[in-house]
């Protein structure tokens, strides 16, 4: 619902405009800080822009002026509601100081005494900081819109091609693109960013340091892209030979001993992406998407084939060397599944409001 008392703008558009104005105020404050007579005015402007940034971010979270759908507080509320509220608060707290950070960057530029490489060392962490804030807010929106949740389909998709080049191999499920866990990707990106910056600082002191740094970064990016491409290789199944294939490995159905479930996000009430990983006792396993953002991913034929693979497997909970009877396997390996768990999971992938057969954070 739009309110004409706010100029006919929706809360999200009004919030976006206020964010732009606040960042622009931060730019102006940074220019004023560099001029001593106006530095006190810059402090007042930064105070206003910080408040404006917080209000603007808050408005973007509202679907309508009459309905802010702010998640309620309380220990007795469902975990997903409490998590969504916490993420919203954290996101606003992270993004509110953005105008101050912009002002500091502008001040450094106006001063003109900081070398370009040191400017890079300042700007990149600032960009990462802002990106983390945006990511936190995006996570807080997952599952918060009833209309979006109702759009998730429990209808299985139509049949895909039954084989590849007539060789008897069948791809199970859709592509794995975009199925990296965001909870794992964010720290990896941050770690890679700061490692790159530290390397630049070390190599800056030697001859040809910048060229060497560029070469190392290029090799690292190529290696990362190759890793991602290999990681996204789908599971293929050969029913005639009772084999599965992933990442260049062939594994007999009867040799499958491990099954794990990953959920992104893991909390209830969200449009989750569910991924089943199968393999032997090695660390390399094939990944099959069961749900993608709430929607079922496997066709009826693919579901039946995956159920036959699980039925022929030897899946069981792993056992620690200090727990040979497996009494604490559930606690020690919270994402692992039994054979029955895996069968039920494939036959009926849990929806947004269903419990998962694994231990998830509260």
pLDDT tens-digit readout, 169-220: 888 877 777 666 555 666 677 677 777 777 777 776 777 777 887 788 888 8
Can you give the residue ranges of every domain in the chain? 4-141, 169-179+232-347
Burial 194-228 (b: 16+ CB within 10 A, else e): eeebebbeebeeeeebeeebeeeeeeeeeeeeeee
Cα distances from 218 to residues 41, 117, 152, 264, 300, in angstroms, run: 45, 18, 40, 30, 43
Poorest-pLDDT segment among 79-83, 93-97, 168-172: 79-83
- Among 7, 96, 5, CA closest to 48: 96
How many other β-carbons are positioned within 10 Å of the β-carbon of residue 258?
22
**pLDDT band at residue 153 using 50, 70 and 90 as cut-offs:** low
What is the per-residue pLDDT across 271-319, written as a single tens digit (0 to 9) for each?
A: 788 899 898 888 778 889 888 888 888 888 899 999 999 999 999 888 8
Across the chain, what does the average pLDDT equal? 79
CA distance 242 to 95: 53
- Among 100, 126, 94, CA closest to 46: 100
**pLDDT band at residue 148 using 50, 70 and 90 as cut-offs:** very low
Poorest-pLDDT segment among 112-121, 236-245, 308-317: 112-121
3-state secondary structure of 333: coil
Provide, rounded to the nearest whole percent, the portion of the chain with pLDDT above 70: 80
Q: Are 210 and 115 in contact (CB under 8 A)?
A: no
């Amino acid at each position: 619902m739009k309110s004409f008392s706010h100029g006919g703008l929706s809360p999200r558009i009004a919030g976006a405009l206020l964010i732009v104005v606040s960042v622009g105020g931060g730019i102006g404050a940074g220019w004023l800080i560099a001029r001593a007579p106006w530095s006190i005015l810059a402090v007042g402007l930064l105070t206003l822009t910080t408040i404006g940034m917080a209000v603007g971010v808050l408005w973007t979270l509202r679907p309508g002026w009459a309905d802010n759908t702010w998640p309620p507080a309380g220990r007795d509320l469902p975990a997903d509601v409490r998590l969504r509220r916490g993420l919203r608060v954290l996101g606003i707290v992270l993004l509110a100081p953005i105008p101050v950070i912009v002002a500091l960057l502008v001040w450094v530029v106006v001063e003109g005494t900081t070398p370009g490489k040191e400017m890079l060392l300042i700007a990149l962490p600032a960009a990462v900081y802002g990106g983390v804030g945006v990511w936190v807010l995006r996570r807080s929106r997952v599952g918060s819109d009833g209309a979006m949740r109702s759009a998730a389909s429990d209808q299985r998709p139509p049949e895909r091609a039954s084989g590849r080049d007539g060789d008897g191999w069948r791809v199970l499920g859709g592509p794995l693109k975009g199925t990296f866990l965001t909870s794992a990707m964010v720290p990896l990106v941050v770690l890679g960013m700061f490692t790159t910056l530290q390397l630049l600082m070390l190599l800056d002191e030697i001859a040809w340091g910048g060229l060497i740094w560029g070469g190392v970064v290029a090799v690292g990016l190529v290696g990362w892209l190759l890793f991602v491409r290999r990681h996204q290789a789908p599971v293929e199944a050969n029913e005639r030979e009772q084999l599965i294939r992933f990442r260049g490995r062939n594994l007999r159905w009867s040799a499958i001993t491990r099954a794990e479930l990953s959920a992104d996000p893991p909390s209830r009430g969200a449009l989750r992406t569910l991924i089943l990983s199968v393999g032997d006792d090695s660390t390399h396993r094939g990944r099959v998407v069961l749900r993608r953002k709430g929607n079922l991913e496997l066709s009826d034929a693919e579901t039946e084939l995956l159920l036959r693979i699980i039925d022929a497997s030897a899946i069981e909970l792993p056992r620690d060397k200090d727990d040979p009877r497996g009494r604490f396997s559930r606690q020690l390996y919270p994402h692992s599944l039994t054979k029955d768990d895996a069968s039920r999971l494939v036959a009926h992938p849990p929806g947004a409001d269903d419990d998962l057969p694994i231990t998830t954070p509260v």
